[in-house]
């Protein structure tokens, strides 16, 4: 990632956090905390807060249904998978600054479906646009019930212009995709050669992201689902407002929800802290609600969606594994690997600069034992000395590749190996490296190909790198080419498994 982009990202993150602190200061500077505590003490939690939480969760299920339809032209996913992808994005916004959860969600969509990242980003943008149009419609309806305020009319004008321009671009991609691609080709001719193909590929993938909307029937279905999403959001706001007992009207909830969600489109701190509370509080105070009650109500509304969605998102991340992080790093934070000159007749000579003594550290001992469970040169008919040399070369290559990972990924990998050792010890009552080869192979195959996504994600880089080094080893290639291996069929199956 170039230095100007890094600076821009840092400015966006720190600017958003600073903006949140500013809004939090505005919300709390004249606040009487004793009155806020009193407002909390009089909250009628049952059944209103339970209903608010149910409305919130139902809204995310409907979002998942909408996501499944939008991606249906590129991939087939279940409603549960689509809902989990949506929840990961919102949970990411709750724990990452500057709405970076949108990138996490697009990366998760790419990892789950295999579609290009640009297409996933386009689908995410379309969903945000649909949300904005529905919220804007609700804002226009509810503004007629609000007292006369200049900022309300200014907000309507500004938001209408922004969403109008975005809608025009999406509509052009929906109605005239060939025109958009033609313009992209024309623009690409003015770019440097290394950027030309990337720009055209990105534009093509983005245009594919709006393919589902090229039917009036499909547009109607998506619009109905989008309206349902935000009606459920209005219900969540309304139930919390009723629990505070200040005679809330549904029109109040409609306006407060609209103003608040339009306001938090601004990149801010994780979870919209400060920004959400100040804007929601100001919207409630339009209807004569006391400042303390308005702030307390804003806090409860925020917690109603923040806590369950964050927990849900974390559980999904744990279940699906670390693929999202890897995709995000590769897409936005990855660096080009250094070019290594390799002699054609001996691919494994790449290890010459990385060769080191076999480590006695526990993590390396376990890695060596895992590699022995994945590949067995003895099946090629080699002697014990050649077998040890092949395993040593494969281990050194694998260890060097793991060592080349960024620090955060190395720490995550070491943590995963530690968990693997602990679970294996509980299962077999002995350290993994001391188990027999057959037991080690059974355990590794259970983790590498079993039903737990996190375990598969942990072993995917290990087995991919180990198989690459093994089947690229000169001695292994010579044995396979001579047809002397009694396990050629197994080797083919293993390679197939590594790619899958």
Q: Is residue 495 in a domain?
A: yes
Could you give the number of structural domains in the chain?
Answer: 2
Q: Is the pLDDT of residue 333 over 90?
A: no
Please check whether residues 249 and 117 belong to one and the same domain.
yes
Please check whether residues 298 and 244 belong to one and the same domain.
yes
Compute the mean pLDDT over every residue in the chain, rounded to the nearest whole number. Answer: 78
Render pLDDT for 84-109 as a digit per residue (tens, 0 to 9).
999 988 988 888 776 778 888 888 88
The rounded percent of the chain whose pLDDT value lies above 70 is: 79
Q: Is the pLDDT of residue 329 over 60?
A: no
Please check whether residues 224 and 282 belong to one and the same domain.
yes
Residue that terminates a domain, selected from 333, 364, 385: 333
Give counts: helices (H), strands (E), the chain: 21, 0
What is the span of the domain harbouring residue 258?
A: 3-333
Q: Is residue 340 in a domain?
A: no
Please check whether residues 304 and 366 belong to one and the same domain.
no
Render pLDDT for 368-381 as a digit per residue (tens, 0 to 9).
888 888 887 777 77
Residue that terminates a domain, selected from 299, 333, 367: 333
Q: Is the pLDDT of residue 497 over 60?
A: no
Could you please report the per-residue DSSP string of 176-208? -HHHHHHHHHHHHTTS-HHHHHHHHHHHHHHHH
pLDDT of residue 65: 96
Q: Is the pLDDT of residue 336 over 50?
A: no
Render pLDDT for 346-373 as a digit per residue (tens, 0 to 9).
444 333 333 333 344 556 788 888 888 8
Render pLDDT for 265-289 as a digit per residue (tens, 0 to 9).
766 667 778 888 889 998 898 888 8
Render pLDDT for 112-152 as a digit per residue (tens, 0 to 9).
887 888 888 889 999 989 999 999 899 888 887 777 666 66
Please check whether residues 158 and 236 belong to one and the same domain.
yes
Q: Is the pLDDT of residue 83 over 90?
A: yes
* Highest-pLDDT range among 37-46, 178-187, 224-233, 431-440: 224-233
Q: Is the pLDDT of residue 173 over 60?
A: yes
pLDDT of residue 25: 67
pLDDT of residue 98: 67
Q: Is residue 341 in a domain?
A: no
* Residue 6 CB burial class (10 angstroms; 0-12, 13-18, ≥19): exposed
Q: Is residue 27 in a domain?
A: yes
- Mean pLDDT on 36-41: 84
pLDDT band at 337 (very low <50, low <70, confident <90, very high): very low
Q: Is residue 201 in a domain?
A: yes
- Mean pLDDT on 437-441: 84
Please check whether residues 230 and 366 belong to one and the same domain.
no
Q: Is residue 338 in a domain?
A: no
Q: Is the pLDDT of residue 44 over 50?
A: yes
Q: Is the pLDDT of residue 304 over 90?
A: yes
Please check whether residues 286 and 401 belong to one and the same domain.
no
pLDDT of residue 233: 96
Q: Is the pLDDT of residue 448 over 90?
A: no
Least reliable range by pLDDT among 74-78, 267-271, 304-308: 267-271
Please check whether residues 141 and 242 belong to one and the same domain.
yes
pLDDT band at 13 (very low <50, low <70, confident <90, very high): low
Distance CA 272, CA 399 (A): 41
- Mean pLDDT on 196-221: 86
- What is Dmax (Cα atoms) for the chain? 89
pLDDT band at 401 (very low <50, low <70, confident <90, very high): confident
Please check whether residues 134 and 214 belong to one and the same domain.
yes
Please check whether residues 73 and 185 belong to one and the same domain.
yes
Please check whether residues 296 and 385 belong to one and the same domain.
no
* Highest-pLDDT range among 10-24, 62-76, 112-126: 62-76
Long-range Cβ pairs for the range 297-302 (8 Å, 24+): 297/39, 297/240, 297/241, 297/244, 298/27, 300/43, 300/49, 300/240, 300/243, 300/244, 301/52, 301/236, 301/237, 301/240, 302/271, 302/272, 302/273, 302/276, 302/277
Please check whether residues 299 and 399 belong to one and the same domain.
no
pLDDT of residue 300: 94
Q: Is residue 28 in a domain?
A: yes
Residue that terminates a domain, selected from 333, 365, 399: 333
- Mean pLDDT on 255-269: 82
Q: Is the pLDDT of residue 53 over 80?
A: yes
Q: Comparing C-alpha atoms, which of 40, 20, 22 is closest to residue 292?
A: 40
Q: Is the pLDDT of residue 465 over 50?
A: yes
pLDDT band at 3 (very low <50, low <70, confident <90, very high): low
Q: Is residue 329 in a domain?
A: yes
């Amino acid at each position: 990632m170039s230095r100007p982009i890094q600076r821009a990202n840092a400015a966006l993150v720190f600017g958003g956090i600073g903006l949140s602190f500013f809004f939090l200061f505005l919300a709390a500077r004249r606040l009487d905390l004793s009155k806020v505590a009193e407002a909390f003490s009089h909250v009628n939690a049952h059944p209103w807060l339970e209903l608010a939480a149910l409305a919130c969760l139902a809204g995310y299920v409907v979002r998942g249904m909408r996501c499944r339809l939008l991606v249906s032209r590129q991939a087939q996913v279940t409603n549960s998978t689509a809902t989990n992808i949506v929840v990961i994005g919102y949970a990411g916004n709750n724990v990452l600054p500057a709405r970076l959860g949108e990138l996490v969600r697009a990366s998760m969509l790419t990892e789950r479906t295999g579609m290009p990242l640009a297409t996933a980003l386009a689908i995410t943008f379309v969903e945000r646009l649909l949300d904005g149009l529905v919220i804007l419609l609700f804002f226009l309806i509810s503004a007629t019930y609000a007292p006369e305020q200049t900022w309300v009319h200014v907000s309507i004008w500004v938001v209408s212009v922004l969403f109008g321009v975005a809608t025009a671009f999406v509509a052009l991609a929906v109605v005239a995709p060939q025109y958009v691609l033609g313009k992209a080709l024309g623009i690409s001719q003015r770019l440097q050669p290394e950027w030309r193909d990337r720009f055209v590929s990105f534009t093509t993938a983005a245009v594919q992201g709006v393919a589902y909307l090229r039917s009036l029937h499909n547009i109607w279905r998506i619009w109905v689902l989008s309206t349902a999403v935000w009606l459920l959001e209005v219900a969540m706001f309304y139930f919390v407002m009723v629990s505070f007992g200040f005679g809330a009207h549904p029109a109040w909830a409609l306006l407060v929800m609209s103003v608040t969600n339009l306001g938090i489109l601004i990149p801010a701190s994780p979870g919209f802290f400060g920004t959400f509370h100040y804007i929601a509080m100001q919207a409630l105070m339009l209807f004569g609600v006391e400042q303390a009650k308005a702030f307390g109500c804003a806090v409860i509304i925020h917690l109603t969606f923040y806590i369950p969605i964050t927990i849900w998102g974390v559980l999904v991340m744990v279940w699906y594994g670390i693929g999202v992080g890897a995709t995000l790093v590769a897409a936005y934070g990855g660096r080009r690997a250094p070019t290594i000159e390799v002699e054609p007749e001996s691919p494994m000579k790449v290890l010459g600069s990385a060769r080191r003594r076999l480590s006695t550290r526990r993590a390396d001992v376990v890695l060596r034992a895992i590699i022995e469970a994945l590949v067995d040169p003895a099946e090629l008919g080699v002697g014990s000395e050649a077998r040890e040399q092949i395993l040593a070369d494969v281990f050194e290559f694998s260890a060097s590749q793991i060592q080349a990972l960024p620090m955060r990924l190395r720490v995550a990998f070491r943590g995963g190996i530690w968990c693997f050792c602990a679970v294996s010890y509980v299962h077999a009552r002995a350290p993994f490296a001391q188990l027999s080869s057959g037991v080690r192979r059974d355990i590794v195959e259970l983790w590498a190909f079993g039903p737990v996504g996190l375990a598969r994600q942990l072993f995917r880089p290990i087995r991919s790198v180990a198989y690459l080094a093994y089947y690229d080893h000169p001695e292994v290639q010579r044995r396979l080419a001579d047809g002397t291996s009694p396990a050629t069929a197994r080797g083919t199956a293993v390679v197939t498994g590594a790619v899958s």
